[in-house]
């Protein structure tokens, strides 16, 4: 994983490209993490080593990785999902006939004339002989927020930086296309866990000139613009309550939405005495409970057929499972015995583990494995979720769904319902 972030970190591009003032106001704020982010760091370390050493994550089962002073063991869940990323990158690199470069540092200094913009790409390689294509892949281990690959500023910045590695002295390159890939195995997306987006290099560089560079320049302004929005969710200024406009904007939204509740502007937490803080903390529990009730009610109204402006219902899916484990054991266990675990009582491995075993231990190609396992597994539906209308998954009309689907939809956990104000 990368070390200290650059001043203009690609991973935070959605923040500073929308709110140039965020850079100056957060420059002295410390980075903080949580167990989920640390787990992602550990998963990245595992993925990096597996790609570099030509290993499978399942070879590392039981090993431990330290991230942010926390220790994570490689269990079946981590190995299964990292394997999705490793397989995707290896398959693409094999198709391109190129070695994989893992954890590659890139810089846009050749464009910006400053070292303030750069980062570390999880995996990159380029075919400059036949396809004239640069490949940039990024692992997203989180499962709470689905990340889209189309026009993703982080990947586009990585791609622009990686292009610099393939330019000659006069600033030219034979590369014509850039394929950017996001692998997010633990979050549902209608396009699957591996999603790619291809751009012409000329279009990518035009974006850099007309969109990226002006955004970079705006962060150096003596009076940078502050702009609130969905990007505030990850901003350190919001976290530490130092944003000069966020409280104002939240109050304005609240006043428009339910003016009878909001009688005065929201106070700055730094201006509260301890007694007021205590009251707000207690009141916050009531507000949180009320808000969760609003989310649940909105979800139920949508299931009943009411259209919630800006929202839609989509199908949720669980992890893959065998349709008939006994059938798989009987038809494949004899020829491929390693698809079984070897505890005191042999047991069929998971779908992902069997795929990895067939590729590694029996040297089967991905295409052959897919054909062999076709129709042997399913991805069970887990009811309906209320999400933003711009979500890539197709919307579902609950009134046209089957009775079983409608009944199961009401069992969706509250924490699976998106915050409908985001």
pLDDT tens digits for range 328-351: 998 898 899 889 886 667 788 888
pLDDT tens column, 64-90 = 999 988 999 999 999 999 999 999 999
pTM over the 0.85 mark: no
User: Which residue is associated with the tokens 């990518």?
Assistant: 204
pLDDT tens column, 304-317 = 889 998 899 988 87
Token pair, residue 278, equals 């205590």
Buried b (16+ CB within 10 A) or exposed e, 185-216: bbebbeeebbbbbebebeebbebbeeebeebb
Q: How does the average pLDDT of the chain come out, rounded?
A: 84
pLDDT tens column, 168-187 = 777 777 899 999 999 999 98
Query: Hey, where are the domains in the chain?
Result: 10-218, 321-378
* pLDDT on residue 419: 36
| Main-chain phi, psi angles of 317, to 5 degrees | -135, 145
CB 398 within 8 A of CB 412: no
pLDDT of 416 above 50 = no
Please state which of the four CATH numbers 3.30.70, 1.20.1070, 3.90.320, 1.20.120 is assigned to the domain occupying 10-218: 3.90.320
pLDDT tens column, 231-274 = 887 888 888 878 888 766 666 656 655 565 555 556 677 777 88
How many Å apart are CA 242 and CA 164, to the nearest integer? 37
* pLDDT on residue 287: 62
pLDDT of 292 above 90 = no
């Amino acid at each position: 994983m990368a070390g200290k972030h650059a001043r203009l970190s690609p991973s935070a591009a959605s923040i500073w490209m929308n709110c140039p003032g965020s850079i100056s106001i957060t420059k002295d704020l410390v980075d903080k993490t949580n167990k989920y982010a640390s787990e992602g760091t550990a998963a990245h370390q595992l993925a990096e080593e597996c790609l570099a050493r030509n290993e499978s994550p399942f070879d590392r089962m039981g090993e431990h990785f330290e991230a942010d002073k926390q220790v994570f063991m490689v269990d079946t869940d981590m190995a299964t999902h990292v394997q999705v990323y490793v397989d995707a990158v290896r398959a693409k690199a094999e198709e391109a006939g190129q070695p994989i470069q893992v954890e590659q540092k890139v810089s846009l200094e050749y464009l910006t004339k400053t070292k303030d913009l750069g980062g570390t790409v999880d995996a990159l390689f380029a075919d400059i002989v036949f396809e004239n294509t640069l490949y940039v892949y990024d692992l997203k281990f989180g499962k709470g927020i689905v990340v889209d690959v189309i026009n993703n500023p982080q990947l586009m910045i990585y791609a622009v930086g990686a292009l610099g590695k393939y330019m000659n002295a006069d600033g030219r390159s034979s590369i014509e296309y850039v394929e950017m890939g996001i692998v997010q195995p633990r979050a549902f997306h209608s396009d699957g866990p591996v999603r790619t987006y291809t751009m012409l290099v000329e279009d990518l560089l035009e974006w850099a000139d007309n969109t990226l560079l002006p955004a970079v320049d705006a962060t150096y302004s003596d009076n940078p613009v502050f702009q609130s929005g969905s990007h505030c969710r990850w901003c350190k200024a919001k976290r530490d309550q130092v944003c000069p406009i966020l409280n104002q904007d939240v109050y304005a939204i609240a006043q428009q939405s339910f003016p009878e509740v909001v009688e005065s502007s929201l106070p700055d937490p730094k201006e509260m005495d301890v007694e007021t803080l205590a009251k707000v903390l207690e009141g916050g529990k009531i507000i949180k409970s009320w808000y969760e009730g609003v989310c649940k009610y909105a979800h139920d109204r949508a299931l009943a057929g009411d259209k919630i402006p800006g929202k839609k219902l989509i199908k949720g899916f669980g992890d893959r499972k065998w349709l008939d484990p006994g059938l798989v054991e009987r038809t494949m266990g004899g020829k491929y015995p390693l698809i079984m675990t070897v505890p005191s009582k042999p047991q069929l491995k998971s779908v992902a583990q069997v795929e990895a075993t067939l590729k590694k231990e029996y040297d089967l190609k991905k295409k052959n494995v897919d054909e062999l396992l076709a129709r042997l597994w399913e991805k069970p539906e887990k009811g309906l979720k209320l999400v933003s209308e711009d979500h890539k998954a197709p919307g579902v009309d609950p009134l046209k769904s089957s009775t079983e689907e409608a009944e199961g939809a009401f069992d969706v956990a509250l924490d699976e319902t998106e915050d409908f104000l985001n």
